[in-house]
Amino acid sequence: MRPLVFPCSPATLDDLVIVDEPLAPCPPLTVILEHFQHSVTVVHVESMGPMSGASACFVTITQDRSGRVRIITLAGIGVVTMYAVQFSRHLLGVILLAASTGLFATFDPGLAPFEVRVNGEPVHYREFGIYLMPGEDTTFDVPAVGPDEVSLFVAEGRPVREGPGTWRWTAPESAGLHRVHILRSDDALVTLNVFVLRPLTDVVDGELNGYRIGYYPHPVREIHAAPRGLVEVTEALAAARVSPHFTLGQFLCRQQPGHWPKYLVLQPTLVTKLERLLEEVNHRGIRTDTFYVMSGYRTPWYNRSIGNVPYSRHVWGAAADIFIDTRGDGRMDDLTGNGSSGLADAKVLHRIVDERFGASGNARPVIGLGLYGPRPHRGPFVHVDVRDERARWAVP
């Protein structure tokens, strides 16, 4: 991540403070370091700006023997954020620290600035992934606009205008990413990242280009029908966005780590649910720009190799095991403020998911929701999927 350097006084230019995690703009806090030892450091904090009604903000700094320093800020509403910091040498002075907590940072949900439909399905975000078969005809529709109010741009193929705000376009025959831009006259923009799929029929003996796919089980319900095709993901394409806050790479199967290209299936309904959940989490004061997806798509081969049930929603790209990890350490953040990460923190996220989607009534698809406690090789997490019937379970 991009390091940030903050001014220190009376330090020299050699005394750089490198923060491992990006910090959002906010009223700065003055942190006066009383002393540095290989233990908890006592600090004095002064607020230099409004704190959204919070009565106090406390900072604890710890330093281990390797010189690595952790700064923990605890805001009045109980929001905790931890930063990993490295000092070039011991400092005695003032650090201007921009704290990224729910008190100060703003979350942008990335909603679409105007209504767009693809083959009749609404697109809710200004950047979103669409999945098409080679040569598939697709309709883009922008309702309630005049004939000159919106334009469509695409690098490959020639879109045919069928009416005000309506175009028909044929996807290219080659697999890969093809971007479609829809621009309104006021410069508002929606970008559709169109991923042309490799047909599932290209899989031979359970493999595609050396990547193990396996075999989809016989469908016992409509949601178990085998996918039409697979997204071919090169190493460069892994960074492509499927929505404002998620990329293809976050959902890749955990098999064959050094093999490219990889292949996956991803349901747009799952991505939309995760975006809505992310917005809700930030609305409740937990500031994060994405979720850590511990497990997204699983090929049928990989799903069987780990002993999972054959009809897992992961196999259809309709499930994600997630947690909040703003520190980048691969573990659930301390959401409860008790100084450690555990099942209680996963319960916080689990409750938010259930409250956000549990009252959806008969709306389809519904949410499957599971709570999983920590194990020696991993931390706790929450399973979220889209399915045709409500399901709840816990494995503490």
The pLDDT averaged over each successive group of 10 residues in the chain (396 residues) is 29 31 35 35 35 34 46 36 35 32 65 96 97 97 82 91 93 95 91 97 98 96 96 96 97 97 98 97 92 98 96 98 95 92 95 85 75 95 94 94
The domain spans of the chain are 4-97, 107-196, 202-396
Residue 377, C-beta contacts closer than 8 angstroms, at least 6 positions apart: none
Domain 107-196 identical in fold to domain 202-396: no
Nearest to 224 by CA among 311, 112, 298: 311
- Diameter over CA atoms, the chain: 71
Task: Give me the amino acid identity at 62.
Answer: T
Nearest to 86 by CA among 147, 163, 21, 30: 21
Say which CATH class 107-196 falls into.
Answer: mainly beta
Contacts 24+ apart (CB under 8 A), 54-57: 54/103, 57/29, 57/99, 57/103
Please give the pLDDT value at position 147.
65
Please give the pLDDT value at position 22.
34
| Architecture label for domain 202-396 | 2-Layer Sandwich (3.30)
- Distance from C-alpha of 287 to C-alpha of 25, rounded to nearest angstrom: 13
